[in-house]
Amino acid sequence: MRELRNIGLATFIICILIGSIGAQEISVWLVEPPTDGVISCDDQQIELNIVTLGEDSTRVLIIEPSPEFGESPTGYGPADWARFADTLSSLGFYVDILPLSSDFSSILPSYDIVIIYGNPGREFSGMEIVAFFNFLSAGGNVLSVVRANAGDVSEMDIHNPILTLAGMNYSPPRTDIIDTIDVASLHPALAGVNELTVYRPMPISCSPDQQIVLTPDYDCIIAADSSLGGKIIACGEENLFHNGPLVFAGVPVYWDILDNRIFTLSAISWFASGLTPTGCGLDTASSYLDIDGWVYFFSSPEFYWDGLNLTFSPGVDFWDSGIHNIQAEIFDSCGHSIDLEFTLEFDVDAPRATLIEPPSGLLESSGDTVVVFVQDYENVMDTANSYIVVDLLDTFWLETHIHPLGFWLLPSLGWTSGTHQICVYAQDSPDYCPPNVLDSCFTIVMPEETLRVEVADVWVEGCSLVYTEVCVRSADRYVKDLYLDNFAFFENGIPVVPPSLELLNACPSESAMVDIVLLLDFSTSMNDEVSTFFGSIPSFVAALGVMDYRISAVVFNGCPEQTVPDDGVWMIVRTDFSSVPCSYIAGGPDWWATNLTDFNCLYNAVVNDVYTWPATMRGSGNEDQYGAIVRANENLDFRDGALKAFVLFTDERPIVDSPPCEPGWDESAEGLDSIIQYCIDNDIVMFPVTPHDGEFQFHSSESPDRRYYEGYYELGPQTGGGWFYLWAEDYDTLATQIGVAIADLPCCYLFRYREEQFCNEQNLLVVDAFQSITNFGRDDTVYSPPCPGSAEFYYPQPCGGITTCSLQGISLYLNSEDEFFAPIESTIILGVEPLGFYRMEDDEISFHNDTIEFVPTTDFSNGDTVCSAIVSGLDSMGCPITSDTCCFVVDLEPPQFDEIYPPPDTVMETTDFTVSLSIYDELAGVRWSEVGYDNFSVVVNGNPAEYSVYSAHPYMYVEISGVRNLDTIQICVDSIPDDPDYDYCPPNYNDTCWQFSIYILEGPIAQIILPDSGIISACVDQQIWIALTDSEGVDESTIIMVIDDDTFTCADVELTFRDSTLFFDPPPGYWSDGQLVTVELI
């Protein structure tokens, strides 16, 4: 077949050569990402298009469909068949596209695979049908595809004559299936295919062994046959060609990755099996990507190979910012290889924002400019879309307010008093992937007044001394020359005054001493900066004003213990101020400059001498910035009482070789914390002068991460100093700013006073500062005061009770939460009111095992309220010993009896009475639980009598049985206790006895004779007879009878008394019918 492929083609056909690769066995190109821009995706994929070829390629002929019959199998217009051809070509096939106007009877032998799609525009001739039969019989392959959107029969007459050669044909009408169908066939043309997406496919009439894909209704829609020697596939579904892996002109055309695509590849692969290999295959086990020296083999999980494109998919945060060098080393299974090298630039970090001014976030005045440094270090800023919003009102756009040092912000009306929010929105401008966005806020505060007082710190020493640090500022300066009488202290509203209040330091304005050390990075990259700064020394010295200053210079580049790669250098620049030309002298006598002339000499020694040395004499390159601080502090001589100000010049972040350099404080958070603490412990105020975070120098062999460091921003403020920008445009201004910052180093006033208000949850401390008529203001703070040892009452317990002891004792236990608590006995005074005050040497006091025992020698009086407390006392730390006040009441009298009835020695004229009395105790009360029957006794005429007792407190009642006239009765009440709260002494008891007698005088006795009481009488003249007797006789003149409302005496004719009988004879008509008669005898 192959020897005929070029016969006569040039004279009558158009041949489009798509796929010849020539002698190159492997081709590879980068599909994505682009290499000419900045990428912001930290999980960016790398996709390579890789084609491996054999010595000779399989030839594919595509019979081009006629333009008037619709779209191509790629989903594009009819003219886009080249895209599909590119797909096959990229797989290693040699592809031709020919129109149906060609005479295929002579062309077919030149090809291995023929693809017929849709309607090419005419039917095949008889000679061409014979040629197809010969082509299949010689091992050729045919793929037939009809379109789903074509008429049911429009393409059948073209395709079916070819299919009939293998005993199959398309059989209209189309089905109605629009779905994804499962594929269970094991046919090699369906390798890797589990399901296919179809749209109304065309059924195929064929034998069962030719069916390879059936619909759920068992219609065959894909059939295959190899009985003629070659292979033929009939597809009744055009969408099987869609979603293929196409690459056109090096640009990928992405389709959904469905099994339709896999079928297309598998079908072509089945055709190609047994033919000349289309390629040697990719050796994934040997091929790899080298990313910045890290090797990733294609066989690792991050890679996906689809037969054409190799995709490297790293995880999130894989890429960091910077330039990454990538090399692809690709091998095929035949041993061929190819290299592809490229670089990718990434910026995966958002822009950064740093508040430069004011560094503390506290504004000094309403006209201050706030400086926010905003920069993206790998990419350009998108200035048109970056801005700052102040208090949600004022917007400052980056493109109009940018400055070399950052955003400069000042609201149009200045800063008002209060808290202001500064929100930064900034984005960079990558070329690939969305931009990195910064969206963060700062808070700054504008105080009410520029004059202000700040209680900077308060702490307690031991448990009795309170230390307070107070800073006074006016505008941007610390107020100095204040004394004790310029301050007023109040604790919980109570003035704290001398001598308790002391001022422990002074802040003089004219006699302030400062020893300044210039720590200079000795790297050659710092030559210009050091020279320029030293040229601005007059401005620096002028800014120091009236301060008593000394200035020395130290150069460093490593530690002296280093020998690899070069000797480390740390040395004090010495010279002779009296010599000319002021060169560096290793053993020179002078290193502290105290005036401008001396400093100019020191300038010459630094700039014109040591900074001209060759690089081989200037250190290791690993500067050891923080170690230089320690060595300067330990090797220079400082004046007592002088401030130590260290100005650190460097263009690199901290780096150290440890060992041999010790301590090894590097760029880590631990290193920063350690050097800050060292400076605080050694009273060193730092002023770093460095680039911004992201601008630091680094060697090409080092990681780009060395550009970043924020620690210097903290080192200055945390030690009481400040940070300055190394690459300032105006070094005179920079030198002045540093000098002013040193001259105005914080000087705050330290006070001490003795605590007097202990054990509160919080104490409120208020401090006023003033001078003459100037009121600097007031500040307050709260702190937790100490709570020293206290005394707790052991007895009497609980306090507030009543005792019956005339010599009631008192006991207190001294305790403390602090282990150091130890009372000083000689200082303890116990107050016992109303007796007085007692010390440990008094007889009434004893002290043993932290317990105070008080036993009075003088009796308390009844009714005394006794109150006791520790009046004063100190522990071994000088803290006062305190106690609560414990009070109790003394009750020395028993209960009292009152309201006795019958009263003592009285004569009762009746036997109808109840004995009663009240019992009370004004202090302790009566213990009623012990008062009852057994406390009483009753004697009548000398003999015990029967009685009962009941109570209604405070009353007790006694009922006596069988009392008669002329009886004499004695009542006794015994052992009535009061009711004290304590049992240290017994209760007070009381008893009493009294007697009384009964004498009743007897008068006349009346007894009715007739009629009986309560009867009904029918006598209209009914008489009333009453017997009336008395041993002494009856005086008839005293007799009075009352009948209803009528009164009768013996003087009346109706009433007669004779023979001890009283007769009432009513007058005629006296009684009336139904009358109810009531008779009384008086």
Instruction: Give backbone dihedrals phi and psi of 538, rounded to 5 degrees, phi first.
Output: -55, -40
Residue where a domain stops, chosen among 998, 1032, 1061: 998
Banded model confidence at residue 7, pLDDT cuts 50, 70, 90: very low
Helix (H) or strand (E) holding 738: helix 731-743
Kindly report the CATH number assigned to the domain that includes residue 304: 2.60.40.1220
Residues 50 and 61 in one domain: no
Q: What percent of the chain has pLDDT over 70?
A: 87
Residue where a domain stops, chosen among 397, 429, 446: 446
What are the tens digits of pLDDT across the range 397-408? 876 665 544 566
Rg (CA), the chain: 60
Q: Stretch 75-99: mean pLDDT, rounded?
A: 62
In a domain, 303, yes or no: yes
In a domain, 17, yes or no: no
Residues 6 or more apart in contact with residue 934 via CB below 8 angstroms: none
Q: Stretch 605-616: mean pLDDT, rounded?
A: 87
What are the tens digits of pLDDT across the range 317-348? 999 888 899 999 999 887 888 888 999 999 89
Kindly report the CATH number assigned to the domain that includes residue 203: 3.40.50.880
Question: Among 69-73, 105-109, 142-146, which is the least confidently predicted range?
Answer: 69-73
Please, what's the b/e burial string for 157-180 (b: 16 or more CB within 10 A of its CB; e: otherwise)?
A: ebbbbbbebbebbbbeebbebeee
Full domain range(s) for residue 426: 352-446
Q: What is the model's pLDDT at position 401?
A: 60
Kindly report the CATH number assigned to the domain that includes residue 588: 3.40.50.410
What are the tens digits of pLDDT across the range 346-362? 989 888 887 777 766 77
In a domain, 410, yes or no: yes
In a domain, 388, yes or no: yes
- Looking at residue 122, its amino acid is R
Q: Stretch 632-644: mean pLDDT, rounded?
A: 90
In a domain, 11, yes or no: no
Residue where a domain stops, chosen among 244, 272, 300: 272
| 3 state SS of 793 | strand
In a domain, 12, yes or no: no
Q: What is the model's pLDDT at position 75?
A: 43
- For residues 449 and 446, what is the distance between their CA atoms, to the nearest angstrom? 8
Residues 711 and 756 in one domain: no
Banded model confidence at residue 264, pLDDT cuts 50, 70, 90: confident
Q: What is the model's pLDDT at position 275?
A: 61
Q: Stretch 44-48: mean pLDDT, rounded?
A: 91
In a domain, 3, yes or no: no
Answering whether pTM is above 0.85, one says no
What are the tens digits of pLDDT across the range 765-820? 999 999 877 788 899 999 988 777 778 899 999 999 999 999 999 999 887 554 54
Report in angstroms the alpha-carbon separations of 162 from 133, 135, 790.
Answer: 8, 11, 114
Residues 470 and 589 in one domain: no
- For residues 261 and 253, what is the distance between their CA atoms, to the nearest angstrom? 13
Banded model confidence at residue 24, pLDDT cuts 50, 70, 90: very low
CA 169 to chain centre: 73
Residues 742 and 754 in one domain: no
Residues 586 and 691 in one domain: yes
Q: What is the model's pLDDT at position 81?
A: 55
Banded model confidence at residue 870, pLDDT cuts 50, 70, 90: very high
What are the tens digits of pLDDT across the range 157-170? 889 999 999 999 99
- For residues 214 and 181, what is the distance between their CA atoms, to the nearest angstrom? 9
Q: What is the model's pLDDT at position 742?
A: 79
Q: Is 1073 exposed, middle or buried (0-12, 13-18, 19+ CB in 10 A)?
A: exposed
Kindly report the CATH number assigned to the domain that includes residue 462: 2.60.40
The total number of structural domains that make up the chain: 8
Q: Stretch 264-279: mean pLDDT, rounded?
A: 69
pLDDT of 12 higher than 70: no
Banded model confidence at residue 253, pLDDT cuts 50, 70, 90: very low
Q: Look up tokens 């910064």; give the residue.
A: 438
Report in angstroms the alpha-carbon separations of 1011 from 237, 1019, 1028.
Answer: 143, 11, 15
Residues 6 or more apart in contact with residue 860 via CB below 8 angstroms: 805, 806, 807, 808, 835, 866, 890, 892
- For residues 387 and 128, what is the distance between their CA atoms, to the nearest angstrom? 74
Query: Taking a C-beta distance cutoff of 8 angstroms, is the pair 573, 639 a contact?
Result: no
Q: Is 335 exposed, middle or buried (0-12, 13-18, 19+ CB in 10 A)?
A: exposed
Residues 388 and 295 in one domain: no
Residues 484 and 581 in one domain: no
What are the tens digits of pLDDT across the range 550-583? 999 999 998 888 876 668 899 999 999 888 778 8
Residues 904 and 958 in one domain: yes
In a domain, 653, yes or no: yes
Q: Stretch 1035-1053: mean pLDDT, rounded?
A: 88
pLDDT of 210 higher than 80: yes
What are the tens digits of pLDDT across the range 47-86? 887 766 544 567 888 887 766 544 444 444 444 455 566 6
Q: What is the model's pLDDT at position 325?
A: 93
Banded model confidence at residue 999, pLDDT cuts 50, 70, 90: confident
CA angle 525, 527, 533 (to 5 degrees): 125
Residues 968 and 1023 in one domain: no
pLDDT of 592 higher than 80: yes
Q: Stretch 748-755: mean pLDDT, rounded?
A: 92
Question: Among 235-244, 615-624, 1025-1034, which is the least confidently predicted range?
Answer: 235-244
Q: What is the model's pLDDT at position 18?
A: 29
Residues 84 and 205 in one domain: yes
Q: What is the model's pLDDT at position 393?
A: 80
- For residues 102 and 125, what is the distance between their CA atoms, to the nearest angstrom? 11
Residues 687 and 555 in one domain: yes
**In the predicted model, what is the mean pLDDT of the chain?**
83
Residues 720 and 734 in one domain: yes
